[in-house]
Amino acid sequence: MPFKRYVEIGRVALVNYGKDYGKLVVIVDVIDQNRALVDAPDMVRTQMNFKRLSLTDITIDIKRVPKKKTLIAAMEAADVKNKWENSSWGRKLIVQKRRASLNDFDRFKLMLAKIKVWNPSRFYSALIDKLSYLV
């Protein structure tokens, strides 16, 4: 399968390093072979090195260096947020963020749920052992 994620105006990218880590941005202009001008609805337009960007499959139809209002309208028309959340990459990052925000008790409940799903006999035998003192 040929490579299809080219650096182009309107390409949506994920910031993989720095203060904007995890944000979706749109390439609005290519400065040189190492940098691009990127913009997003919730950030100031800035230049970013390509090493800090992970290109996605999502593109939007915009002209070079659009106004903020035009960019926001184009992103909403292309339904970028919904496409990202429904992609496997986006779902994976959502799960990672959710897992990172779990507290100790939530991690314990997750462990019990995994045991119950993957090995129910182990779960119930351990539960019976714990409750055997009541009998």
For domain 1-101, the question of CATH label 1.20.1440.230 is answered with: no
Residue 135 has pLDDT above 60, yes or no: no
Percent of the chain exceeding pLDDT 90 equals 75
Residue 118 has pLDDT above 90, yes or no: no
Asked whether the CA dihedral 40, 44, 50, 52 is positive or negative, the reply is negative
Q: Where are the domains of the chain?
A: 1-101, 103-135
Q: Per the structure block, which two tokens stand in for 86?
A: 């429904």
Q: What is the pLDDT of residue 128?
A: 74
**Threshold 0.85, pTM exceeds:** no
Contacts of 89 (CB under 8 A, 6+ apart): 14, 56
